[in-house]
């Protein structure tokens, strides 16, 4: 029994170098990205992560055209492109009064089309698939250092600026009263989002990198009402999805990236049905409680 469990759950992750690197990359992203997803959810900006994932595509594509599959060039291009799109969307919103979410949606559609066009002009459909959907099993040592570095910086910055991020999320006017410009904190937060999406494109691609950020965060809201609890549950779900997705892809011969995201999506669907708060089961119990109380009183 123990040997069977080891062969199913442990050996695939420890016997092969590419699986070890994929596991470390997935675990690193799972520690850093879900807490950012929780903040996006609390800000009512859940779709911003998807927009930012598309926004990094032109920079990644330009880096690919200039240097091929050079991770430093593609990552630098993605970071610059993401920050540029976020800055342009914010500027358009402030100067014209256009809603920021509408401005971001407009820019991310332009970015997506521009990125796909650039990759298509300079490469094959295989190149386009790699950039859009990634390949966690192809993570090399350079990519692993980048992902680990981004995850470490994200966790450190969030630990130092945690209170400011929470206050800016809930009451930006109070933050201004304390002499801290809310735009600075928001810029710092968006920068962390861009960094994590850029780190994630190598493993999950630009189109699915946001999945590991948002799905665990949205699932966590069915299990906790406290911010710390939301972040802890989101990280646990992401760790489970990363590890379980790799095992599923190994044993069933499935693509690794979609396996990770679909497993996280499965946890989200189960949470909507069985979660402690706001789920279908919780609603049924809440509706049944007054009836039970009335029967006992009678």
Of 240, 212, 235, 233, nearest to 276 (Cα)?
233
For residue 298, the model assigns a pLDDT of 47
Of 255, 257, 247, 260, nearest to 8 (Cα)?
247
What token pair was written down for 73? 């060039």
Model confidence pLDDT, tens digit, residues 281-290? 989 988 887 6
Cα angle 153, 66, 206 (rounded to 5 degrees) comes to 50
Determine contact, residues 58/117, Cβ cutoff 8 Å.
Answer: no
| pTM recorded for the entire structure | 0.85
- Report the alpha-carbon distance of residue 191 to residue 185 in Å, rounded: 10
For residue 101, the model assigns a pLDDT of 67
Of 23, 41, 62, nearest to 215 (Cα)?
41
Model confidence pLDDT, tens digit, residues 165-194? 888 877 767 667 666 666 788 888 888 998
Q: What is the 3-state secondary structure (H, E, C) of 245-280?
A: HHHHHHHHCCCHHHHHHHHHHHHHHHHHHHCCCCCH
DSSP reduced 3-state for 210:
coil
Of 46, 79, 45, nearest to 60 (Cα)?
79
**What is the mean pLDDT of the segment spanning 1-18?**
80
């Amino acid at each position: 029994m123990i040997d069977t469990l080891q062969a199913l759950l442990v050996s695939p992750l420890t016997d092969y170098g590419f699986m070890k690197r994929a596991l470390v990359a997935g675990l690193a992203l799972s520690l850093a990205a879900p807490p950012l997803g929780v903040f996006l959810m609390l800000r009512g900006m859940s779709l911003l992560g998807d927009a930012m994932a598309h926004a990094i595509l032109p920079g990644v594509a330009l880096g690919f055209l200039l240097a091929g599959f050079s991770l430093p060039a593609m990552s630098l291009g993605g970071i610059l492109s993401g920050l540029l799109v976020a800055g342009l969307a914010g500027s358009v919103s402030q100067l014209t009064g256009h809603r920021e979410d509408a401005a971001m949606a407009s820019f991310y559609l332009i970015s997506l089309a521009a990125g796909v066009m650039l990759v298509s002009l300079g490469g094959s459909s295989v190149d386009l698939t790699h950039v859009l959907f990634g390949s966690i099993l192809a993570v090399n040592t350079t990519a692993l250092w980048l992902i680990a570095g981004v995850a470490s910086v994200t966790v450190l910055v969030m630990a130092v600026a945690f209170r400011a991020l929470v206050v800016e999320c809930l009451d930006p006017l109070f933050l201004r009263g304390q002499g801290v410009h809310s735009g600075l904190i928001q810029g710092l937060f968006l920068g962390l989002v861009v960094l994590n999406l850029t780190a994630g494109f190598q493993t999950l691609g630009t189109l699915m990198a946001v999945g590991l950020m948002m799905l665990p965060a949205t699932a966590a809201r069915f299990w906790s009402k406290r911010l710390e609890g939301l972040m802890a549950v989101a990280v646990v779900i992401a760790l489970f999805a990363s590890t379980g997705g790799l095992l599923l892809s190994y044993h069933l011969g499935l693509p690794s990236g979609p396996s990770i995201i679909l497993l996280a999506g499965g946890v989200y669907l189960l949470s909507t049905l069985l979660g402690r708060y706001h789920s279908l089961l919780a609603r049924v119990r809440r509706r049944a409680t007054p009836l039970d109380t009335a029967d006992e009183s009678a």
